[in-house]
Structure 1
Amino acid sequence: MSKPERNPKVDAYLDKKSKWSQEISALRELVLEFDVQEDFKWYQPCYKVNGKNIIILGPFKDFCVLSFFKGVLLEDPKNLLEQMGENSQSSRVVKITSLDQIASHKNDYRDLIKQAINNEKEGKKVAMKTTSEYEVPEELKLMFNENPDLKTAFEKLTPGRQRGYLLHISAAKQSKTRFARIEKFIPNIMQGKGFQE
């Protein structure tokens, strides 16, 4: 098997020598041991199999990550994988804080990478929660009752935009904050926009 082609954009990104560039370079070398296509997406090294994103390497303030798009499908007997956020359905990450950590878990990371590649080649899918499975906050139900046009506009939004609103509104701890968030985004909803647009 020939080595995967290195993407010059990833080279340029790593040449900038940021806080985690050594760790990300070491992770890159691990991933490039396998038959993957190296890309540069969302300003980060990204790896594909059959045109599908499977792994992305990224820096955070206190760590960098070896992130698996379908990480929930991976067998992880050593519990190395973490869910980054409570609403993350599919992706899982390994948080990296040193080159020593990479060296001591190299074979474990190789196993996870190999599984991710095989899962993609086998066409395995993650069963995602549908929008209808998310709870609609009581405050939004009340607003729908008061304003049927708002309900109609909300139902016309794409499932992703609906989920975004449901998660954002529900995240507020107090009812008055949930109402304030709904009020703020009524114009966006009526225009068919997501809450971050």
Structure 2
Amino acid sequence: MSKTNPQVDAYFKSLKHWRDELEELRAIALDRDLTEELKWRSPCYTVEGKNVAILGGFKEFCTISFFKGALLKDHKGLLDKPGKNSRAARLIRFTSVGEIVRLRPAIEACLREAIAAERAGLKVEVDQGAALELPAELVARFDESPALRTAFEALTPGRQRGYAMHFAAAKQSKTRTARIEKYEPRILQGKGFHDCTCGLTKSRPAATALTTR
């Protein structure tokens, strides 16, 4: 079994919900000899420095997510997309320890496949030609601001998709509109959703982004 990470130990001590379930998932991951780290405020399991799986606790369930889950065979039909636009990641939801214990062989099989995929350097093939679905609120804003439409269309396909996914992820129209208004200046600057604007780093939009998932 792999060694536990002190930062993750502290994470579990602070948990108010799903502690037993996530501890069970943690034990399964550690049995696979993965390295335990704390990333994006969650227990993350890596092999040779590459992300394999991450645990998460939500209001109605807890999860184990596989970064390249689209590559897994999923014979039991357990893996779901985190969102409708998810391409690589897949997750399994749980609501009890008993459920995790019952599905342990399937979870272990997924971990073995995920580890093998990382060690082999496999990548999820993405259809770059797939049509990009834009939220209606963004299309409406384009009609109001041709300059925004021009700037958006000048972005790389990956940057366009990043914005579209972020805007569409909001459940309410007013939230989608608020997100569009917030990021409009960045789009007009030709910046992507994760591009730096603070001048200190090239990897994230600002230091505060490092604290959000």
TM-score range relative to shorter protein: 0.7 to 0.9
**2:18 counterpart of 1:20:** yes
| Larger-gyration structure (1/2) | 1
Structure 1 residue aligned with 2:151: 153
SS at match of 2:31: coil
Counterpart of 1:61, as a letter, is K
Using a 3 Å threshold, how does the CA distance of structure 1 residues 8 and 168 change in structure 2: closer, same or farther?
A: closer
Return the match for 2:118 from 117, 120, 139.
120
Counterpart of 2:53, as a letter, is I
**2:80 counterpart of 1:74:** no
Q: CA deviation at 1:130?
A: 2.8
Using a 3 Å threshold, how does the CA distance of structure 1 residues 131 and 137 change in structure 2: closer, same or farther?
A: farther
**2:78 counterpart of 1:61:** no
Structure 2 residue aligned with 1:165: 163
Q: Which moved more, 1:33-42 or 1:56-65?
A: 33-42
Using a 3 Å threshold, how does the CA distance of structure 1 residues 10 and 142 change in structure 2: closer, same or farther?
A: closer
Aligned positions, number: 190
CA distance in 1: counterparts of 2:94 and 2:84, whole angstroms:
20
Counterpart of 1:103, as a letter, is V
Counterpart of 2:110, as a letter, is L
Q: CA deviation at 1:35?
A: 2.5
Say what the alpha-carbon RMSD is for the aligned residues. Answer: 3.3
8 Å Cα contact 1:140/1:182 also seen in 2: no
Using a 3 Å threshold, how does the CA distance of structure 1 residues 73 and 193 change in structure 2: closer, same or farther?
A: same
Q: Flag structure 1 segments of 5+ consecutive residues without an equivalent.
A: none
Counterpart of 1:92, as a letter, is R
Q: Flag structure 2 segments of 5+ consecutive residues without an equivalent.
A: 195-204, 206-213
Counterpart of 2:11, as a letter, is Y
8 Å Cα contact 1:131/1:163 also seen in 2: no
1:98-142 deviation digits (Å, cap 9, x = unpaired): 111111111111111111111111111101243874145787499
Percent pairwise identity: 42
Q: CA deviation at 1:21?
A: 1.0
8 Å Cα contact 1:57/1:65 also seen in 2: yes
Q: CA deviation at 1:37?
A: 1.2
8 Å Cα contact 2:167/2:180 also seen in 1: no
